[in-house]
């Protein structure tokens, strides 16, 4: 087809050439032309396949692209060069004599030197190669020859590995390399902005409902829902969510999702929202630190104490009678034991055992064997132990404390400056401790393994929270590396 177009274009420019010869000859009957106004009649027509090659005349860019012509040329020797991205330059040496018309057609693909090749490799090997959406029915490593220059979309596919998509440039007479180190997903899978439709990499908390839906809180993009295929986002500007900074999540026995934010509390189920703030509830602070359930009763921790809500009545516990020197305690986490005692992990006033509406026994680092009075989290194990996460105190290292039968025991994880973020205890009584340096797996009271970016495929070492779903898979919320799935 391109040869037919070339013939048509050649006829067109031949007509122009004849007109150019006739018009000046007519003018000579009535005018005189000086020597420096001589009109030349050399004519060169250039076309190519593919078209669009830049035309250079004697090393200078003419500003023209194929198909086009160079007109009114004097007799002489000419060097024409065609330049096209990814292709080798093609040059034509010619001698032009007026009023000669010369026509040239360059078929780039008729010259084998114009073609290139790709060396496909992957780690591990054996990945299927998809080139420009076409399955080549070959696997890495392999070399594909005689490729037209240009940009190629390459996809590598291998079982138990994430697909890799890259762009490889092929140039004339060169072998390009197309390589990718495939991420193993047989045990670890990460979901980040760069490889999924998750809206944030800075996650703060996570919960799994009775339908195995994962609910994830973010620091900056609100609430995320993951059904195993797609992520759905709920933001404060497109939903009743009080804030995009989610601080905690919890599922009640009616499968309702309770959402703590820095601007209030929300309850969500079946597209129905209930929002609670200081303006419309018994809350005395909108910054929600933790949510825990005792039957149909909701216990809520805030920076100024403890709140109880039974669905109709709010009760605040923000005065500590047993500690007159402390007006209130910032409750960061709540754990309820088998006897109904509420163990309160506070930000700076130690541990409280709360029951029957009273701030009961207080445990501080001055009277108990605990790392510090600055706590982030706690949890009750299946064998009745109470686990607490501590931040460093003045001159003291942060770590874990365990309380059982009136005896305290401490465990330290990671470096001296490591910070405990959260404690999660699964149905098998395995403790998963989230820290800024990684994730600690503890069996009994003995640390079994400490997962971080140096020794695993976890996407980020700063872990905020974890949870196991209905299939036993561990889901990990990281602060900077998105969501991770760990197939145990």
| Nearest-angstrom CA–CA distance, 168 and 426 | 46
161 lies in the same domain as 192: no
Return the pLDDT at 321: 52
Q: What is the mean pLDDT of residues 288-300?
A: 98
Write down which residue in 48, 76, 109 finishes a domain.
109
Here the CATH number for the domain that contains residue 391 is 2.130.10.10
Q: Please state the domain count of the chain.
A: 3
For residues 390 and 399, the answer to whether their CB atoms sit within 8 Å is yes
Mean pLDDT of the chain: 92
pLDDT-derived band of residue 25, with 50, 70 and 90 as boundaries? very low
Range of the domain at 141: 115-181
| Residue 206: per-residue pLDDT | 99
Per-residue pLDDT tens over the stretch 343-356:
999 999 999 999 98
Residue 259 has which token pair?
């959402």
| Helix ranges (DSSP H) in 289-413 | none
Residue 201 DSSP class: S
For the chain, percent of residues with pLDDT exceeding 90: 87
Looking up residue 126, the CATH number of its domain turns out to be 2.60.40.10
Euclidean distance between CA atoms 356 and 361, whole angstroms: 12
Question: Model confidence at 358, in pLDDT bands (50, 70, 90)?
Answer: confident
Three-state DSSP state, 474: strand
Which pLDDT band, with edges at 50, 70 and 90, does 37 fall under? confident
- Condensed to tens digits (0 to 9), the pLDDT of residues 258-270 reads 999 999 999 999 9
Q: What is the mean pLDDT of residues 399-411?
A: 97
Q: What is the mean pLDDT of residues 401-412?
A: 97
Contacts of 225 (CB under 8 A, 6+ apart): 213, 214, 215, 216, 231, 232, 233, 234
Residue 318 — pLDDT band, cuts 50, 70, 90?
Answer: confident
pLDDT at 93 over 80: yes
110: helix, strand or coil: helix
The answer on 72 and 152 residing in a single domain is no
Residues 332 and 204 grouped into a single domain: yes
| Same domain? 198 vs 71 | no
Residues 171, 237, single domain; the answer is no
Contacts of 130 (CB under 8 A, 6+ apart): 136, 154, 155, 156, 157
Give the pLDDT confidence of 189-211 residue by residue, as tens digits.
999 999 999 999 999 999 999 99
Whether 350 and 390 map to the same domain: the answer is: yes
The pLDDT of residue 325: 56
Residue 4 has pLDDT above 80, yes or no: no
Instruction: Place 134 in a pLDDT band, splitting at 50, 70 and 90.
Output: very high
Beta strands (DSSP E) in 192-323 are 203-208, 214-218, 223-226, 231-234, 246-251, 257-261, 264-269, 272-276, 290-294, 297-302, 305-309, 314-317
Region 135-159: mean pLDDT is 98
Which of 109, 125, 155 delimits the end of a domain? 109
- Mark whether 40 and 91 lie in a shared domain: yes
Tell me the CATH number at 44: 2.60.40
Cα–Cα distances (Å) from 256 to 28, 201, 215, 319, in that order, read: 96, 25, 11, 30
Residue 450: is its pLDDT beyond 90? yes
For the chain, percent of residues with pLDDT exceeding 70: 91
Residue 57 confidence (pLDDT) above 60: yes
Q: For 220-246, how does the pLDDT look when each residue is reduced to its tens digit (9 = 90+)? A: 999 999 999 999 999 999 999 999 999
Q: What's the pLDDT score for residue 16?
A: 46
Residues 289 and 203 in one domain: yes
Whether residue 40 sits in one domain with residue 159: no
């Amino acid at each position: 087809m391109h040869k037919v177009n070339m013939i048509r274009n050649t006829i067109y420019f031949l007509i122009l050439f004849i007109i150019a010869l006739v018009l000046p000859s007519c003018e000579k009957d009535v005018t005189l032309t000086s020597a420096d106004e001589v009109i030349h009649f050399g004519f060169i027509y250039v076309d190519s396949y593919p078209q669009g090659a830049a035309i250079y005349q004697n090393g200078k860019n003419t500003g023209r692209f194929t198909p086009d012509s160079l007109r009114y040329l004097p007799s002489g020797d000419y060097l024409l060069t065609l330049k096209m991205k990814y292709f080798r330059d093609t040059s034509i040496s010619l001698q032009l004599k007026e009023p000669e018309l010369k026509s040239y057609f360059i078929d780039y693909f008729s010259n084998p030197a114009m073609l290139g090749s790709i060396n496909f490799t992957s780690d591990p090997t054996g990945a299927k190669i998809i080139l420009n959406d076409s399955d080549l029915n070959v696997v890495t490593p392999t070399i594909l020859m005689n490729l037209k220059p240009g940009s190629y979309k390459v996809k590598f596919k291998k079982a138990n590995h994430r697909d890799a998509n890259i762009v490889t440039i092929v140039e004339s007479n060169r072998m390009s390399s197309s390589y990718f180190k495939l991420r193993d997903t047989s045990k670890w899978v990460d979901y980040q902005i760069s490889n999924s439709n998750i809206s944030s990499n800075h996650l703060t908390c996570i919960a799994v409902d009775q339908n195995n839906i994962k609910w994830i809180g973010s620091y900056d993009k609100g609430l995320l829902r993951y059904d195993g295929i797609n992520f759905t986002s709920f933001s404060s500007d497109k939903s009743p969510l009080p804030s995009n900074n989610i601080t905690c999540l919890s599922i009640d026995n009616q499968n309702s999702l309770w959402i703590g934010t820095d601007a209030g509390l929300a309850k969500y189920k079946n597209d129905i929202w209930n929002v609670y703030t200081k303006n419309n509830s018994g809350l005395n602070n909108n910054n929600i630190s933790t949510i825990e359930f005792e039957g149909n009763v909701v216990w809520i921790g805030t920076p100024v104490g403890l709140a109880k809500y039974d669905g109709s009545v709010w009760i605040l516990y923000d005065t500590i009678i047993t500690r007159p020197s402390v007006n209130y305690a910032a409750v960061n986490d709540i754990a309820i034991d088998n006897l109904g005692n509420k163990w309160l992990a506070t930000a700076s006033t130690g541990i409280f055992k709360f029951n029957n509406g009273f701030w009961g026994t207080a445990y501080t680092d001055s009277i108990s064997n605990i790392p510090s009075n600055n706590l982030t989290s706690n949890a009750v194990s299946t064998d009745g132990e109470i686990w607490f996460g501590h931040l460093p105190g003045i001159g003291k290292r942060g770590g874990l404390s365990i309380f059982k039968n009136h005896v305290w025991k401490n465990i330290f994880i990671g470096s001296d400056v490591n910070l405990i973020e959260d404690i999660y205890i699964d149905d098998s009584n395995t403790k998963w401790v989230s820290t800024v340096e990684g994730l600690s797996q503890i069996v009994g009271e003995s640390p079994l393994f400490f997962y971080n970016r140096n020794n695993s495929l976890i996407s980020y070492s700063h872990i905020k929270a974890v949870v196991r779903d209905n299939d036993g898979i561990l889901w990990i919320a990281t602060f900077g590396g998105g969501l991770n799935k760990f197939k145990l």
